[in-house]
Amino acid sequence: MQTLPPEIGTLGALRRAGFEPRSLREEMRSNLVALLRDGRHIFDGMHGYDDSVIPAVENAILCGHDLIFLGERGQGKTRMVRSLVALLDEWLPVVAGSEIQDDPFAPVSAAGRARVAEAGDDCEVVWIHRNDRYVEKLATPDVSIADLIGDVDPVKVAEGRSLSDEGTIHFGLLPRTNRGIFCINELPDLAEKVQVGLFNVMEERDVQVKGYRMRLPLDVLVVASANPEDYTSRGRIITPLKDRYAAQVRTHYPPTRDLELAIVAQEARVPELAGLPAHLPGFMADIVAELTFAARRSPDVNQSSGVSVRMSIANHETLLAAAMRRALLAGEGEAVPRISDLAALDSSTVGKLELEFAGDDRSEFAIVRELHRGAVKRVFDERIPLEGMASVLESFDQGWKIEISGGMASSEYLAGLDSIRGLRDAATRLAGGGSPGRLASAIEFILEGLHLSNRLNKTTRNGSALYAST
């Protein structure tokens, strides 16, 4: 990575310091090679991409390819693109006053060439940080050629300049990103005529602005993101533009629950309340992740839209918040989520899903509750062998019943607990501790799992649930 003191202020001083200009792609390739030789990469926090997405991106950078990320929402596409900034040199010299970050050694704009020709080695140079060499634009139908490429500036024309003078052009975002990375999100949403202008810049470097033709050899990496359905099936992307992206990188959701939970642990923001520690049992964390996985498998959910990891993050935060609220109301010293808290996830789940079949006969909340039950049952089957519940079920067969509610204090769960043989031991092993909050959470999980396994009846009334023998 080239480093020179940013106080160097002229072209001549740059020459004397031994600065060697290089193209953007050479710069990024060289810096990536240095990272790889050190056994490092730039995509910190991108769990599950080590053997798929990251190698594809690194190959594209080594080749100098423009690239597009295809994936459903919440797969880290934008974060991957923004991470590419780390492959740029920290500081870059440009011609002072240049609109398009002209290279002092080889300016491409008319204004930049004129400044260097006039001042020579005394041409003033300014330094820009790598963060200022990244530009991001969300594609919407109202984005115009003027926004991306440029337009005639009426003020400059009014000053007496000729329309044939390149100096009358007001450059758009793409030329202003010269020697940097330009990202356009949701590429297929661009109007076709704008797409045409974009691929022309990417390939031929030949731009027409209001009938004025100029050749502008921009040095820019053009990166894009898109939903696969929009990019391949609906015909919203013109074929020549698809051809200009030499690298097409397909992102994906975390393939395992552990990776999903690693992202949740990294991204979730839960308020810390003084005097009220929060604990999320492992089985409840698994249920949060499994709920997202169940949605990704469900025929009731529009899979082409995807189910973002953001749903797991929001559910994680909401579940802990619900436990904190109950603990505050009950005056407890520890907040531990329970199965009854899953009802609070309606608000953080429904908005993250595009449902296929919800309607008058089957509401969106009914579909979400089905997903809840499926997630609990799957995690229960993994964690609790039914043969180990024989003594618990035997106690229920003898007439024992347990009634619980979301607002019950944890201590109330423990009253009469030892009368149901085996339940305390099973709950203690599952909870990983003997605090009332953790035991109450484990007890609810065991009871609900036995109900979903058709070993206990469950009757709900006025916010409470009664578990009894079948």
What digits encode the pLDDT tens for the residues 48-64?
999 999 999 999 999 99
Locate CATH 3.40.50.300 in the chain: 11-250
Please calculate the CA angle 230-234-239 and round it to the nearest 5 degrees: 85
Residue type, 45: G
Token code pair at residue 383: 């964690």
- Over residues 14-39, mean pLDDT: 93
Q: For the segment 364-385, what is each residue's pLDDT rounded down to a tens digit?
A: 888 999 999 999 999 999 999 9
Query: Going by C-beta distance under 8 Å and a sequence separation of 6 or more, which residues neighbour residue 68?
Result: 187, 223, 224, 225, 226, 231, 245, 247, 248, 249
Mean pLDDT of the chain: 88
pLDDT attached to residue 244: 85
Topology of domain 11-250 in CATH is Rossmann fold (3.40.50)
How many other C-beta atoms lie within 10 A of the C-beta of residue 87?
22
Closest to 25 measured CA to CA, from 218, 195, 171: 218
Q: How confident is the model at residue 196 (pLDDT cuts 50, 70, 90)?
A: confident
Whether 358 has a pLDDT exceeding 60, the answer reads: no
| Whole-Å CA distances, 224 to 47, 146, 186, 200, 357 | 21, 19, 7, 15, 32
- Over residues 322-345, mean pLDDT: 93
Positive or negative, the CA dihedral 105, 106, 108, 110 is: positive
Residue 437 to residue 443: CA distance in whole angstroms: 10
Give pTM, 2 decimals: 0.85
pLDDT attached to residue 359: 58
pLDDT attached to residue 141: 86
| Whole-Å CA distances, 226 to 122, 174, 297, 304 | 45, 19, 22, 12
pLDDT attached to residue 166: 66
